[in-house]
Structure 1
């Protein structure tokens, strides 16, 4: 085991703390209603608004809530979390529609030459996007803002300039750390960390994000059948509104979802510069399913390690096959492929290439910000985990890797596991 690596001995057969058991037991007595009409009513009551924009979102809302309802393995805690998520998304959709009505000039804002990071989860996308976002000329989406992108009417910063949306996010982050403390070593979503913009695409109930919160294959299939050009256009409008509130600067974006949506992505952001990160899918999968299994001690009534790994092997294969198929949609002079094993330690030369492709000057201030971020955020800052793909999930690295020959043939990827 690597020096200092953390081992989760009870990953697939969790031993809950007294606090965890108490929370689950107390919530088990609740009735969690996922009826879309009731969720809409709660969002209307919360915001005092009733215009959701185009009504075409309703079938997607029904499919979204229906997928959560069909997932019988959820604890009541997770049902409540997902219910609150849907109400939050509906409330934010109402606030966005109202903002666009009051300020139609938002539609005239340009999303000019964004840098977009595209790659699998756990492949260095978070590191790269946070690094680029340290350039103060860049507009990015911090986690606190991704959860409540638009303020409630009458809300604003306090006398110290602190946004109440940030305060709420920070409180939730502290509560999450106390319940699942090892998440920080896997993927620390602290309030200021840069988040995926597909979180705000979910205001249109059209992203893959729900798959990370439950076992929702019916939502996956529904999402894959959507016309994503329409929904990426909604995303672009959302980014314009965010620029109006807290801009204007050039955006840096990132999401693994873009791997399978390169057509809509390039048509929506035709002048984007795209950085593709590539990593051994076995390392990606074992990291992702370990993180998910750890969270499942609170989300799921039972841990299903084999079902979990089977789902994400398939899901990662779908993402990568689409990426290989569509990679050439992004022109060579606007994109670069970055192997994970070459990312750590070579960030400055990567940034030089990206900024040249993007037509943006690398100023002394930007270079200093990049170096400062790298110094303050070494790999493994919050600790490292020991992974055991075979022991925990019953799959050997060779067995999993055999599914991904097409990916190794296309990109310069180094075997890690």
Structure 2
């Protein structure tokens, strides 16, 4: 097995490609007002109706946009390319929302499609949720989101039957470029346009998705996010799921399989919007999570931060993970045992097939021999560490006292008996 040691985290070696990425595209500004972002989205789509769903309607949407941009401008460590990426994503999110609302306006029957008994996977970043959702997605009785479709749920132009979808090509090009800039990312979290992805992007259209936090340091935005109820944003996600079901000609016949770490801190909101869902919550030692997460984000920070500041990154995410976990512990019981299951990472890795049977039983979904064969095929095709094993050093590289960190997370260990790697 190939061990990967990233030894330039604090002072990265910059390739010409990374230098260009730090600068960002010359034809796109790195600082826009909220109104500028709104105007660009409307100009890109020729549409103007952002809809009124989500917390606070359009006013709440635009307030979240304003807070995001203010937080972005307060992050003085970002490169120009780092800022530009976030501004471009804001324009893309609002453009997607405009196209969603336009499609629903022209086809109101979309909102009659039921979203029944979805299966939600929640869990800390780097706790096996990506593996789990891609594995279970081999069951073709379930609907799941590919990365390219989550990035652009509604096509900007009509795609003729049998023709390749340009959305897939755009996504593949973006992530191929990203992979070339950061070749070790494939060993940590490979981004494939056709892979099954999180439903964060659906929340992103209500500008209430924590994806911003992976790209910048936004304490103002985080405080605003926690200070407001997120139920309306999950109601908007349901609206987009109805549209996607309609586009697929599914009409609600297949159950949705959805996944995001963010779900772990939004258990009551999901319960309110999807009361008949099955909730699967993955649990892993948060110290192990932080070893992996800080390395992944610290490695990619060479594109978007100058200086990279590994120690500041670690402290930011220690605080953020604690906030997420305390919210999860405080609200976990909103999901009753007959609708939810806790998946301990070490037990999942030791007996993946047994855990799949437990999840299927909880979801009241028959696990047939044909489906088991498909699931077995995924495991055979996707062994752990196929792209190499990254060596993590939370104490040395990021200056974290792991023993103190374990004491800090004692409240979580008391509730969920995850195995701690000492």
What TM-score, normalized to structure 2?
A: 0.94
- 1:127 matched residue in structure 2: 131
Matched, 1:136 2:140: yes
Q: 1:362 maps to which residue? A: 367
Residue number in structure 2 paired with 1:99: 103
Q: 1:145 to 1:25 in 2, by over 3 A?
A: closer
Residue matched to 2:232: 230
Q: How far did residue 345 of structure 1 move?
A: 4.2
Give 1:181's aligned residue: 183
Secondary structure (helix, strand or coil) at the match of 1:105 reads: helix
Structure 1 residue 295, shift from structure 2 partner: 0.7
CA shift for structure 1 position 4: 2.2
Cα deviation code 1:305-351 (max 9, x no counterpart): 12111111111111111111111111111211111111124222222
**Secondary structure class of the residue paired with 2:323:** helix
Alpha-carbon deviations, 1:178-237, whole Å to 9, x = none?
Answer: 111111111111112222112211101112221111010111011111221111111111
**Alignment of structure 1 residues 261-300 onto 2, 5 Å:** 261-300=266-305
1:365 Cα shift? 2.3
Q: Supply the RMSD in Å over aligned alpha carbons.
A: 1.6
Cα offsets for 1:256-299 (capped at 9, x unmatched): 11111111111111111111111111010111011111111110
Q: Is the aligned partner of 1:34 residue 2:32?
A: yes
User: 1:24: how far off?
Assistant: 3.2
Whether 1:244 and 2:246 are equivalent positions in the alignment is yes
Report deviation, 1:102: 0.9
Deviations 1:90-116 (A, max 9, x none): 100100110111111111111111111
SS for the counterpart of 1:391 is helix
In the alignment of these two chains, the number of paired residues is 413
Q: 1:167 Cα shift?
A: 0.4
Inter-partner Cα distance in structure 1 for 2:12 and 2:337: 47
Instruction: Kindly indicate whether the alpha-carbon contact (under 8 Å) linking 1:28 and 1:77 is maintained by their aligned counterparts in 2.
Output: no
Quick check: 2:30–2:81 contact (8 Å CA) kept in 1? no
**Which whole-Å CA distance do the structure 1 matches of 2:320 and 2:65 have between them?**
22
Which residue in the other structure is 1:304 paired with?
Answer: 309
Task: Give the one of 357, 366, 382 matched to 1:352.
Answer: 357
Q: Which whole-Å deviations, capped at 9, do the CAs of 1:100-143 have from their partners, x for residues lacking one?
A: 11111111111111111111001111111111111011111111
- 8 Å Cα contact 1:30-1:76 kept in structure 2: no
Deviation at 1:25, TM superposition (A): 4.9
After alignment, is 350-359 or 204-213 more displaced? 350-359
In the alignment, the residues of structure 2 paired with residue 20 and residue 61 of structure 1 have an alpha-carbon distance, to the nearest angstrom, of 28
Within a 5 Å distance, the mapping from 1:109-258 to structure 2 comes to 109-152=113-156, 154-156=157-159, 160-246=162-248, 247=250, 248=252, 249-258=254-263
Which residue matches 1:19? Answer: 17
Within the candidate set 386, 391, 396, 2:396 is matched to 391
Unaligned runs of 5+ in 2: 53-57
Q: Secondary structure at the match of 1:173?
A: helix
Aligned residue in 2 for 1:382 = 387
**Cα pair distance change 1:194/1:29, threshold 3 Å:** closer
Question: Closer, same or farther in 2 for the Cα pair 1:141/1:29, shift >3 Å?
Answer: closer
Alpha-carbon distance between aligned partners in 2 of 1:34 and 1:225, rounded to the nearest angstrom: 25
Change (3 A) 1:319 1:98: same
Provide runs of 4+ in structure 1 moved above 6 Å: none
TM-score by length of 1: 0.95
2:323 matches 1:325? no
CA contact (8 A) 2:287 2:406 kept: yes
**Is contact 1:96–1:241 with CA below 8 Å preserved after alignment?**
yes
Q: Which runs of 5+ in 1 are unaligned?
A: none
**Aligned residues of 2:22 and 2:304 also touching (Cα < 8 A):** no
8 Å contact from structure 2 (residues 23, 80) kept in 1: no
